[in-house]
Structure 1
Amino acid sequence: MKILLTAVNAKYIHSNLAVYSLRACAKKRGLSVDVREFTVNQPAGHVLEEIYLEQPEILCFSCYIWNITYIEGLIRDLARLLPQTPIWLGGPEVSFETENFLLSHPEVTGVMVGEGEETFCELMSFYEHPEGKNLEDIRGLVFRRQEFAAETAAGDGMAEKEMTGKEMTGKGTDIRAGRELVRTGEREPMAMDDIPFPYEDLEHFSNRIIYYESSRGCPFSCSYCLSSVDKCLRFRSTDLVKRELQFFIDHRVPQVKFVDRTFNCNHRHAMEIWRFIRERDRGVTNFHFEISADLLTEEELAFLGTLRPGLVQLEIGVQSVNERTIAQIHRHMDLTRVKAACAQIRRGRNIHQHLDLIAGLPEEDFESFHRSFNEIYELRPDQLQLGFLKVLKGSYIYENRKSYDLLSGSLPPYEVLSTRWLSYREVIRLKQVEEMVEVYYNSGQFPASMELLERASEDAFLLYDAMGDFYRERGYFDMSHSRARRCEILLEFASSRQFAGVCRRRPEEEILRQTLTFDIYSRENAKARPSFALGPPPSRELRRKWEERGKSRHLEWFTREFWRFLETFGGLEEAVWQDRPGAWALFDYDSRDPLNRRARVTPLKGEPGSAPDGCGSGTD
């Protein structure tokens, strides 16, 4: 029997842990299962062709907020092209209000609800050997009774009728008025060690992120998150985890991303794994963990400071600094400890930190979010993710959305539109801030230039807000821009009325032109010299002298004022430009920072300090 598990990912670089875990469990039971992965960026017609040519006898899809709309379109056509093929869905996007979903999607045979490994294996075994078996005996299913499935296939259709809460939440077998749908009993959580390792073959994972779980469930009950629904926190034994991580290290996998909801909630478990990856590190694999910073102990913080730069990256969900908001979302967080831990990690300069904020939470108005942004921005994470509340079916915040006057998008990803505290116009402004933070901060392409503008501004949030207003006024959100063009736009912004409204003093254009040039060459040895560069390139003799020592190098001259600024920003060891109008900078692309991939920059002491023709004088 041809069983096809289908994943539709957000990007090619992502992989779908769920389908590979299901396949591994099926293989352990002697079942043969094929897997196909696609992305939402591929033409739906092409994906339809590929699935049809597989000629599956059973077709299963893994459903999330980023792919459910795409999958709905596919299954409508697949049900007509493959009328004899049962179509089963699973995943968080169909595990809540499942009966309503099935009533509005008659082409779907049924849904696997909740944890899927055991349910999937029993369901596939039923299809392989149905003799003497009954679907109603398989826990974790909501499905259409056979006689109604036959009616649907014949084209009679089904009434799309809302089910009451009582009908939808019953335990055991739940048949609406004895008619279309059956909900079987809940599936008990399985032991983590019973889940087979899903990555015995890495052939299909070249240049892709590997996802891995060492625990399921979450000790917290955040009202916006579906992880809080799973109250059973379970861990995979560390001996088993170590063997599997060694497999990734041996195969030189670039990145392993743990999907554990709060990796460090168990101190012993976390430390044992962190010690192992330090001991076995070969300088290639990076491990990503989602943690709670306020749970980090002094021992853990000290240990993290000993890791190779780039071995580990940490994602830390702060969400808000508003105490009323934190209480409303049922989150427990010691903000003082969070800030102290993040600051200590940053001082170590060896771990990439990714901090999260969520806009649209209860009790958080525009000014409150303004404060949250600035307080977290001051921690200077490598990335600051400004996300927007997604009102997920099954979450506490979804069930209580009316009490918050919460409006969200009617289609996935169900993002917040407005709340009692935040208008839609303010959401639009925050969307603009988000885009500016992504382009000018999270990209890591403009660090010196943004530092210069931030120092001249009243605060960081107002700066990005003004940039968003400038982009919208000029129509720049509707265009695509090269990196060099983004630099030119920043120069335009620095002389705009929007920047004038938030700055205490305007930085000199000559310094900003130099920071932009510095930012360009810190990332790449640009083939085309930037139009805003302060002066001509170095002489042929000077280039020959330094480039013969290494091919991946670039020379650029900067004024004394720029070097003074850079000293306060980048921590240069000595002021080589003292009593000189400026100095040459050597950008070495063979020696990059392992966290931000910027080239090593060295001011040249032994070269003439006079300004090349066309450069600023550098005098006070």
Structure 2
Amino acid sequence: MRILLIAVNAKYIHSNLAVHSLASYAAKKMKYDRTCFEIPEIEIAEYTINQPMGKILSDIYRREPDLILLSCYIWNKREIEELTFDIRKIMPLKHLWIGGPEVSFDAENVLDSMPAVKGVICGEGEETFYRLAKVYGRETECDKLDKDLADLEGIVFRNDEGEIISCEGKAPINLSDVPFPYENLSDFSNRIIYYESSRGCPFRCSYCLSSVEKSLRFRDLKLVKKELGHFLKNKVPQVKFIDRTFNCDHRHSTEIWDFLREHDNAITNFHFEIAGDILTDDELSLLESMRPGQIQLEIGVQSTNERTLDEINRPMDFKRLRQVIGRIK
């Protein structure tokens, strides 16, 4: 059985951490799972929104997948809709699944608007994808498949009769259980590396999808340092942390920044999304001691209007933020 995980990135230089995490997690779990009927071959295909859809479609067809999953974001939702519609035309017997933040939180309406799609993986996908792959490896008959899918957590799907079944709700995984997907860096030559040391966000901004997940989890710091050392050893040009608020736990952020300062290779740039007003004086002093260009900070300023901040449920000390940004500059 061949499973194809598809990413359609905004640019060639970008990569999709999600599909690589899903593939590496499932491969690790299945290696030691004696209940797997058939261990599938999991393949990753990354494209960009700038490529002709016809060329993407022909490449997908050439790979002859048995099961197709597509990663959906705000920048590629239109292209994903077009792809699923066309894939269904030329590969009518193949099941299509989608996942990602742009479809996770409104899955039933998404399925109504995308009739070619079998189901949606909602939210965090590693464990759900692993279990989904096991189901497809075991069942081929539609009635048995739908029965098994109904027992899975974290999905919304359309059964063979056209009825939409919701099986949402599942416990978050231990972030340290996700395998490191970058052992072979040759696949990421001339591309930005995306890395996460935490999941979730401490803030509850009313407009933001990151506020939907209530848990905040961290990857074990020993693992993080080992993996960052791998990037430094291989002189990766840039690593972008996708942590929603990297400095929300000061011990976590300080240990990582201190490690990077001590092991600087004079080449690699590290990008962080942070909340500027909660940076401590100790963290600022640590950042000041680092090589110019080693650290890149993305500081979100939701609003400078106190009433707006109150309405969107985002506490922020704007006076402190101004001081911090001035010192960083």
Give your verdict on TM over 0.5. yes
Counterpart for residue 291 of structure 2: 308
Q: Does 2:224 match 1:241?
A: yes
Q: Does 2:103 match 1:89?
A: no
Q: Distance in 2 between matches of 1:228 and 1:236?
A: 19
Counterpart for residue 4 of structure 1: 4
Q: Is the 8 A contact 1:263 1:291 kept in 2?
A: yes
| Residue 160 of structure 2, aligned match among 146, 150, 153 | 146
| Residue 189 of structure 1, aligned match among 161, 172, 188 | 172
User: Which amino acid in 1 is paired with 2:68?
Assistant: L
User: Which amino acid in 1 is paired with 2:125?
Assistant: G
Q: Distance in 2 between matches of 1:298 and 1:100?
A: 47
Q: Distance in 1 between matches of 2:13 and 2:103?
A: 24
Q: Which runs of 5+ in 2 are unaligned?
A: 32-38
> 1:370-412 CA deviation, whole Å, 9 max, x = no partner?
xxxxxxxxxxxxxxxxxxxxxxxxxxxxxxxxxxxxxxxxxxx
Q: Is the 8 A contact 1:263 1:290 kept in 2?
A: yes
> 1:234-270 CA deviation, whole Å, 9 max, x = no partner?
0001101000101111111000000001100101000
User: Which amino acid in 2 is paired with 1:344?
Assistant: R
Q: Does 2:97 match 1:114?
A: no
| Residue 227 of structure 1, aligned match among 210, 222, 234 | 210
Q: Distance in 2 between matches of 1:221 and 1:189?
A: 18
Counterpart for residue 98 of structure 1: 107
Q: Distance in 2 between matches of 1:263 and 1:111?
A: 29
Counterpart for residue 46 of structure 1: 55
| Residue 127 of structure 1, aligned match among 115, 127, 136 | 136
Alignment of 1:313-462 (within 5 A): 313-346=296-329
Alpha-carbon shift at residue 135 of structure 1 (Å) = 0.9
Q: Distance in 2 between matches of 1:110 and 1:185?
A: 12
User: Which amino acid in 1 is paired with 2:161?
Assistant: E
Alpha-carbon shift at residue 339 of structure 1 (Å) = 0.9
Which secondary structure state, in structure 1, belongs to the residue aligned with residue 322 of structure 2?
helix
Q: Is the 8 A contact 1:140 1:185 kept in 2?
A: yes
Alpha-carbon shift at residue 101 of structure 1 (Å) = 1.6
Counterpart for residue 21 of structure 1: 21
User: Which amino acid in 2 is paired with 1:93?
Assistant: E
Q: Is the 8 A contact 2:7 2:45 kept in 1?
A: yes
Q: Is the 8 A contact 2:201 2:244 kept in 1?
A: yes
Counterpart for residue 42 of structure 2: 33
Alpha-carbon shift at residue 96 of structure 1 (Å) = 2.1
Q: Is the 8 A contact 1:115 1:187 kept in 2?
A: no
Q: Distance in 2 between matches of 1:244 and 1:76?
A: 39
Which region of structure 1 is more displaced relative to structure 2, 88-97 or 7-16? 88-97
Alignment of 1:567-582 (within 5 A): none
Counterpart for residue 258 of structure 1: 241
Alpha-carbon shift at residue 130 of structure 1 (Å) = 2.8
Counterpart for residue 35 of structure 2: none
Moved over 3 A (4+): none
Alpha-carbon shift at residue 129 of structure 1 (Å) = 1.7
Which secondary structure state, in structure 2, belongs to the residue aligned with residue 287 of structure 1?
strand
> 1:171-217 CA deviation, whole Å, 9 max, x = no partner?
xxxxxxxxx11111412111111111111211121111100000000
Q: Is the 8 A contact 2:205 2:312 kept in 1?
A: yes
Q: Is the 8 A contact 1:99 1:181 kept in 2?
A: yes
Q: Does 2:146 match 1:137?
A: no
Q: Give the TM-score normalised by the residue count of structure 1.
A: 0.50
| Residue 211 of structure 1, aligned match among 185, 194, 198 | 194
Q: Does 2:294 match 1:280?
A: no
Counterpart for residue 61 of structure 1: 70
Q: Is the 8 A contact 2:99 2:120 kept in 1?
A: yes
Q: Distance in 2 between matches of 1:55 and 1:182?
A: 28
Q: 1:202 to 1:112 in 2, by over 3 A?
A: same
User: Which amino acid in 2 is paired with 1:146?
Assistant: D
User: Which amino acid in 2 is paired with 1:138?
Assistant: L
Alpha-carbon shift at residue 134 of structure 1 (Å) = 1.1
Q: Is the 8 A contact 2:200 2:244 kept in 1?
A: yes
Alpha-carbon shift at residue 120 of structure 1 (Å) = 0.4
Q: Give the TM-score normalised by the residue count of structure 2.
A: 0.93
Q: Is the 8 A contact 2:10 2:48 kept in 1?
A: yes
Q: Distance in 2 between matches of 1:25 and 1:280?
A: 28
Q: Distance in 2 between matches of 1:266 and 1:38?
A: 35
Q: Distance in 2 between matches of 1:295 and 1:238?
A: 21
Q: Distance in 1 between matches of 2:303 and 2:107?
A: 32
Q: What is the CA RMSD across the aligned residues, in angstroms?
A: 1.2
Alpha-carbon shift at residue 147 of structure 1 (Å) = 3.0
User: Which amino acid in 1 is paired with 2:12?
Assistant: Y
Counterpart for residue 79 of structure 2: 70
Aligned residues: 315
Which secondary structure state, in structure 2, belongs to the residue aligned with residue 33 of structure 1?
strand
Q: Which runs of 5+ in 1 are unaligned?
A: 149-179, 347-620
Alpha-carbon shift at residue 324 of structure 1 (Å) = 0.8
